[in-house]
Amino acid sequence: MSRRRLPTAGGAAAMPTEVDLTAVAQSYVDSRAPDRGPGATALARLADVTVRLDARYCREVAEYFDRAPLVEFDPELADLYERLKVENLRQYQAIVDAGIEVRPWSAPGQPYHGSRELIAGVRETGVLHVYLTSSGHGPAAPTGFHPLREPSGVVVGGVELSHNDVFRAVHDIFGHVMFGNSFGPVGEFKATYCHLHMYPVELHPVLFVEHVGQLCWFFFGPHLRDPQGRLPAPTEPGYRSPAGRPYAQQKVFPFPQGYIDQFVSMFHYREPA
């Protein structure tokens, strides 16, 4: 992919009041599947989605992810990742065209102390700070290959974003900011479920590994359990707060479809009052 510079909002003081992220997302989805007709996938409904978290399922996903090889790459999976990169770049362009400015975060620590800061910050300023992959997972090394660690060609403020940085940006906007989904397990699951609707279904196994696999390991992984296999509660000895936990490794492997089907089945829509 050739190196290119995508436009930014250039010092926007606030998100323009007319920007409707749901409308931006809907327009994007409709443009990517014109044969289905406008609004065939009604994203506005996702504001009413609920999820009943199944802790046993989350532990099973975490264990499967933990046991999986670091890299199990083949031509079919490589093609899916290339398609994911294209989708992410197009979604990135959509948020930039809507007036949102993306800025790489170069200061120490995280740009946001929680989902409330992220959501309020973007809505009030029109600026999204992206925590760079090089800060969050360490620089890519020959033994740490991952297709999303490759340079994206998007240069912002003299910094070239990796494909993973672009992915983080669009997920923060369309997964979290759009419907106000939090960073906790429930909010992250809802963010992933909502964002899945903007991708072709063939890419869902890749998205599942990148989101649900890593999330389940982070919140329910075997490294967090006591000698009896329990996850200690916040008030119990051995509990590790999210701030003190390591990130999951970015693994490259195909997740079985059965796990994806179970994930989708946990979501329901609230009935109108």
SS3 sequence, the chain?
A: CCCECCCCCCCCCCCCCCCCHHHHHHHHHHHHCHHHCCCCCCHHHHHHEEECCCHHHHHHHHHHHHHCCCECCCHHHHHHHHHHHHHHHHHHHHHHHCCCEEEEECCCCCCCCCHHHHHHHHHHHCEEEEECHHHHCCCCCHHHCCHHHCEEEEEECCEEEEHHHHHHHHHHHHHHHCCCCCCCHHHHHHHHHHHHCCCCHHHHHHHHHHHHHHHHHHHHCHHHCCCCCCCCCCCCCCCCCHHHCCCCCCCECCCCHHHHHHHHHCEEECCCC
> What is the arithmetic mean of pLDDT over 178-186?
95
Which pLDDT belongs to residue 105? Answer: 92
Which pLDDT belongs to residue 136? Answer: 66
**Residue range(s) defining the domain that contains residue 186:** 51-224+238-269
- Tens of pLDDT, residue by residue over 189-207, are 999 999 999 999 999 999 9
How sure is the predictor about 258, in pLDDT bands with cuts at 50, 70 and 90? Answer: very high
> What is the arithmetic mean of pLDDT over 235-251?
89
Question: What percentage of the chain exceeds 70 in pLDDT?
Answer: 87
Which pLDDT belongs to residue 25? Answer: 97
Residue 69, both tokens: 């090889």
Q: Do the beta carbons of residue 237 and residue 83 sit within 8 Å?
A: no
Report the candidate in 189, 185, 209 with the shortest Cα–Cα distance to residue 65.
209
Tell me, yes or no, whether 10 lies in a domain.
no
Strands 151-156 vs 159-162: parallel, antiparallel or unpaired: antiparallel
Report the candidate in 28, 35, 7, 79 with the shortest Cα–Cα distance to residue 252.
79
Tell me, yes or no, whether 201 lies in a domain.
yes
Beta bridge partners of 269: 49
Task: Answer with the residue of higher pLDDT: 97 or 3.
Answer: 97
Which pLDDT belongs to residue 267? Answer: 96
Q: Do the beta carbons of residue 218 and residue 241 sit within 8 Å?
A: no
Q: ∠210-55-245 over CA atoms, to 5°?
A: 55
Tell me, yes or no, whether 104 lies in a domain.
yes
Cα dihedral 132/134/137/138 (nearest 10): -160
Tell me, yes or no, whether 207 lies in a domain.
yes
The least confident of 32-41, 50-59, 110-119 is: 32-41
CA distance 173 to 170: 5
Number of structural domains the chain divides into: 1
Tell me, yes or no, whether 194 lies in a domain.
yes
Tell me, yes or no, whether 55 lies in a domain.
yes
Tell me, yes or no, whether 24 lies in a domain.
no
Which pLDDT belongs to residue 272? Answer: 63
> What is the arithmetic mean of pLDDT over 218-226?
94
Q: What's the number of CA atoms in the CB half-sphere (13 Å) around residue 162?
A: 19
Tell me, yes or no, whether 160 lies in a domain.
yes
Q: Is the dihedral of CA 250, 253, 259, 265 positive or negative?
A: positive
pTM of full prediction above 0.85: yes
CA distance 158 to 246: 29
